[in-house]
């Protein structure tokens, strides 16, 4: 999704979306800096020349909370609760559907008669083409009393089958501001590597209990599935073999019990090994245990 507001283009790219978590990238560029002749997808694939900010947000949709915020431009973590970050704060506010009698309408209001004016709707653009007769819903919220320039302002948002609004209008007794969507689409990919502040890791060494090896793992809940592998350190090429997989969970700490009988069919007696955790969603996210002899 591409928006324009206050002299800035913003591209919002969904990296991953589940029932609970949204991983979102925002790439900003002043309209005066943007002189690219290709498509928005081409601009992103070429590292967005002229951009001034490139940030990843990890949002907990159930808790309405921004968990992590990473600046690819600065190569640094940002304060997740920054009160000046409009979009991430907006996404944590509760919305209510706007009643039809409160919706903005087309044309001047009638005098002394029933209002039959058509409801106003923003244009919906998909892959550069206008969508005819889009399904639009309007929702409202109010900005918190935080002494900012939009403190306490009513905000109206228009959606059309997408998790991000096509139009945002901030209403104030003194001024009006809008965020309008220029284009939407699919299959846009990011050249940036997914970065998380927390990665899964092993808690201590594995233990032998009741004919099983017991592993204690700390894993942030936004990693829904992990693969557990064993790396053979006694072989020069350090081959790995998959041992098991973890399923979805809600608690950050878990205990895995792996049957020694099952391991005997996969590991070599007397060899030195190291456990490896790999995220099924993000294979570049890996964690290693202390070495152990089987």
The Cα 275–Cα 150 span in angstroms is 51
Do 179 and 222 share a structural domain?
no
The Cα 147–Cα 67 span in angstroms is 24
CA distances from 150 to 93, 138, 154 (A): 14, 20, 9
pTM above 0.75, yes or no: no
**How many alpha carbons lie under 13 Å from residue 252 in its C-beta half-sphere?**
7
pLDDT at 173: 79
Does residue 11 lie in a domain region? Answer: yes
pLDDT at 218: 86
Q: Which residues contact 184 (CB under 8 A, 6 or more apart)?
A: 1, 2, 124, 125, 126, 127, 162, 166
Do 237 and 177 share a structural domain?
no
pLDDT tens, position by position, 146-193: 888 888 999 999 998 777 888 999 988 777 889 999 999 888 999 998
Q: Say what percent of the chain tops pLDDT 90.
A: 36
CB 227 within 8 A of CB 287: no
Do 236 and 96 share a structural domain?
no
Residue 166's region, left for phi above 0, alpha for psi from -120 to 50, else beta, is alpha
The Cα 194–Cα 70 span in angstroms is 10
- Which residues constitute the domain of residue 177? 2-183
Closest CA to 71 of 86, 55, 58: 55
Say whether pLDDT at 76 is over 70. yes
Tokens of 146: 């935080």
The Cα 50–Cα 96 span in angstroms is 37
Confidence of residue 27 (pLDDT cuts 50, 70, 90): very high
Does residue 25 lie in a domain region? Answer: yes
pLDDT tens, position by position, 33-75: 788 888 899 999 999 999 999 999 988 888 778 888 899 999 8
Does residue 194 lie in a domain region? Answer: no
Supply the mean pLDDT for the chain.
87
pLDDT at 248: 58
CA distances from 249 to 188, 213, 225 (A): 29, 21, 9
Do 175 and 64 share a structural domain?
yes
Does residue 192 lie in a domain region? Answer: no
Do 225 and 179 share a structural domain?
no
pLDDT tens, position by position, 225-273: 889 999 999 999 999 999 988 865 666 788 888 998 999 989 999 999 9
Do 167 and 114 share a structural domain?
yes
Do 260 and 211 share a structural domain?
yes
Does residue 237 lie in a domain region? Answer: yes
Q: What is the mean pLDDT of residues 115-125?
A: 89
- Give kind and range of the element (H or E) at residue 44: helix 40-45
Do 269 and 136 share a structural domain?
no
Does residue 152 lie in a domain region? Answer: yes
Do 273 and 242 share a structural domain?
yes
* Maximum C-alpha span of the chain: 92
The Cα 178–Cα 114 span in angstroms is 29
Residue 138: CB atoms within 10 A of its CB come to: 23
pLDDT at 231: 95
Say whether pLDDT at 114 is over 80. yes
Does residue 149 lie in a domain region? Answer: yes
Do 131 and 213 share a structural domain?
no
CATH number of the domain where residue 212 is located: 2.60.40.10
Do 107 and 248 share a structural domain?
no
């Amino acid at each position: 999704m591409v928006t324009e507001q206050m002299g800035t283009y913003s591209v919002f790219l969904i990296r991953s979306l589940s029932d609970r978590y949204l991983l979102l990238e925002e790439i900003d560029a002043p309209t005066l800096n943007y002189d690219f002749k290709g498509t928005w997808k081409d601009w992103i694939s070429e590292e967005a020349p002229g951009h001034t900010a490139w940030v990843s947000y990890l949002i907990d949709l159930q808790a309405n909370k921004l968990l992590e915020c990473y600046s690819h431009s600065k190569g640094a973590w940002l304060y997740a609760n920054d009160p000046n970050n409009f979009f991430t704060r907006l996404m944590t506010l509760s919305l209510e559907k706007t009643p039809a009698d409160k919706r903005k309408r087309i044309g001047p209001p009638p005098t002394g008669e029933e209002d039959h004016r058509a409801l106003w709707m923003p244009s919906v653009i998909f892959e550069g083409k206008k969508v005819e007769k889009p399904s639009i819903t309007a929702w409202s919220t109010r900005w918190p009393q935080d002494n900012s320039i939009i403190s306490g302002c009513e905000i109206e948002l228009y959606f059309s089958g997408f998790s991000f609004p096509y139009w945002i209008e901030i209403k104030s007794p003194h001024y009006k501001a809008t965020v309008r969507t220029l284009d939407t689409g699919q299959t846009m990919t990011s050249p940036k590597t997914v970065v998380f502040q927390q990665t899964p890791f092993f808690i201590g060494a594995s233990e032998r209990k009741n004919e099983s090896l017991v592993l204690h793992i700390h894993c942030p809940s936004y990693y829904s599935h992990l693969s557990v592998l064993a790396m053979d350190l006694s072989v020069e090429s350090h081959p790995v073999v998959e041992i098991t997989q973890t399923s979805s969970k809600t608690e950050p700490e878990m205990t895995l019990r792996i049957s020694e009988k099952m391991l005997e069919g996969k590991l070599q007696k007397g060899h030195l090994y190291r456990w490896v955790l790999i995220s099924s969603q993000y294979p570049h996210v890996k964690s290693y245990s202390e070495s152990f002899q089987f």
